[in-house]
């Protein structure tokens, strides 16, 4: 299908880091109704994917051609602590939106995760068999399975280590590293035994729109080109900030953080965009290029923060 100004796209869970990028890409091309339970933007309306009746009413009134599900409980430790909430958000929510999209004859887009694989091999293609380890991964994989089996017009798009949203919305690895730096840390301990594929939200959002227009339904890995360990990402981010002479990054094993990060994580979540590439649909750039582009907002924020601190100390 061709996306035009008349195309109506409903987006659930649009208040997060990916939602910000998707809305930015999508609102310029189509009519968008964006919902979330956290109304942190003026363009958001309330919508809880766990509530079938509410979502059915919202989507029924808007009459979209496309339903996009970005809603997820992504904190892996929170999912282990509160599995019922995780299953209701990630699995039941996916079912609810998939059912409603099917009822209206619409296209359904479901975002899954590289974490559904067990890491017993280094790289995973679109065709490898998932074996999720954590509550988060299991609940997300259920959403994928339901979508594949019961929603005729679907795209399941698997993301890797997401980066985007900046200091305000990034709840992932990059912002956690940045918060330590701003707090004055000059030594960072980062694991070197976890590998994956960084995924820039802006590229990922553009890739979803490209898939929708392609009409080639199915399951797709969609991550940045190249792969890395957490340690390598941290080193590159510190370099992009221009702080390689000020901040030291130390390699540690996952055992170092076992009390804080106790949810089971696979040693490798590296995805390969086999189907996207084969079909000429791969829009994803190299992760270092994307991180360099993304880091600009942090460079600016760091300058503003240090300037503010300096002014306050003088005052």
In a domain, 239, yes or no: no
The reply to whether 293 falls in a domain is: no
Q: Which two tokens stand for residue 225?
A: 């080109």
| Residue 242 in domain | no
- Does residue 34 sit within a domain? yes
d(CA 223, CA 287) in angstroms, rounded, equals 9
CB half-sphere exposure, 167, CA atoms < 13 A: 14
Give the span between the Cα atoms of 150 and 107, in whole angstroms.
Answer: 12
In a domain, 279, yes or no: yes
Q: Whole-angstrom Cα distance, residue 167 to residue 100? A: 34
Neighbours of 192 (CB within 10 A): 16
Domain count, the chain: 1
Q: Note the pLDDT tens digit of each residue in 241-261.
A: 999 999 999 999 999 999 999
For the chain, the residue count is 315
Q: Quote the DSSP letter at residue 285.
A: P
CA distances to 115, 167, 296, 306, 307 from 300, in Å: 32, 11, 6, 10, 11
E-only strand ranges, 231-271: 248-252, 270-271
Q: What is the CATH number of the domain that holds 150?
A: 3.40.50.720
Q: Mark the ranges of the chain whose per-residue pLDDT is less than 50.
A: 314-315
DSSP string spanning 129-197? PP---SHHHHHHHHHHHHHHHH-SSEEEEEE-EEE-SHHHH--SHHHHHHHHHHTT-SEEEEESS-EE-
User: 277: how many CB neighbours lie within 10 A of its CB?
Assistant: 13
Element (H, E) at 218: strand 218-221
- Assigned token pair, 189: 């301990």
Exposure class string for 202-230: b at 16+ Cβ within 10 A, else e: bbbbbbbbebbeeeebebbbbbbbbbbbb
Q: CA–CA separation, 250 vs 140, rounded Å?
A: 32
Q: Is 6 exposed, middle or buried (0-12, 13-18, 19+ CB in 10 A)?
A: exposed
Alpha-carbon span 132 to 115, nearest angstrom? 7
Domain, as residue range, for 133: 8-171+196-228+264-287
Examine residue 14 and state whether it is found in any structural domain, yes or no.
yes
Q: What is the mean pLDDT of the chain?
A: 96
159 found inside a domain? yes
C-beta separation of 262 from 135 below 8 A: no
Residue-level pLDDT at 305: 85
Tell me phi and psi for residue 306, to 5 degrees: -65, -35
pLDDT of residue 309: 61
Q: Is residue 270 in a domain?
A: yes
């Amino acid at each position: 299908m061709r996306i035009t100004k008349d195309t109506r796209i409903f987006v659930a869970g649009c208040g997060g880091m990916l939602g910000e990028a998707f809305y930015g890409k999508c609102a310029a091309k189509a009519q968008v109704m964006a919902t979330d339970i956290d109304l942190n933007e003026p363009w958001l309306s309330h919508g809880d994917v766990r509530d079938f009746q509410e979502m059915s009413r919202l989507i029924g009134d808007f009459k979209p051609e496309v339903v996009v599900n970005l809603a997820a409980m992504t904190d892996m430790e929170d999912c282990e602590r509160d599995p019922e909430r995780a299953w209701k958000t990630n699995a039941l929510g996916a079912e609810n939106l998939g059912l409603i999209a099917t009822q209206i004859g619409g296209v359904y887009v479901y975002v899954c995760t590289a974490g559904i694989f067990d890491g017993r091999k280094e790289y995973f293609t679109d065709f490898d068999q998932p074996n999720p380890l954590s509550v988060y991964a299991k609940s997300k994989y259920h959403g994928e399975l339901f979508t594949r089996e019961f929603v005729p017009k679907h795209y399941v798009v698997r993301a890797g280590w997401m980066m985007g949203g900046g200091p305000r919305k990034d709840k992932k690895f990059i912002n956690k590293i940045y918060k330590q730096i701003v707090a004055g840390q000059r030594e960072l301990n980062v694991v070197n035994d976890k590998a994956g594929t960084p995924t820039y939200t802006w590229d990922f959002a553009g890739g979803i729109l490209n898939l929708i227009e392609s009409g080639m339904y199915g399951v797709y890995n969609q991550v940045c080109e190249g792969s890395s360990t957490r340690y390598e990402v941290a080193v590159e981010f510190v370099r992009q900030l221009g702080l390689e002479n000020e901040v030291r990054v130390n390699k540690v094993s996952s055992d170092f953080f076992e009390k804080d990060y106790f949810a089971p994580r696979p040693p490798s979540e590296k995805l390969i965009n086999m189907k996207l590439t084969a079909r000429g649909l791969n829009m994803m750039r190299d992760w270092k290029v994307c991180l360099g582009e993304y880091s600009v907002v942090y460079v600016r924020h760091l300058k503003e923060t240090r300037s503010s601190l300096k002014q306050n100390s003088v005052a």
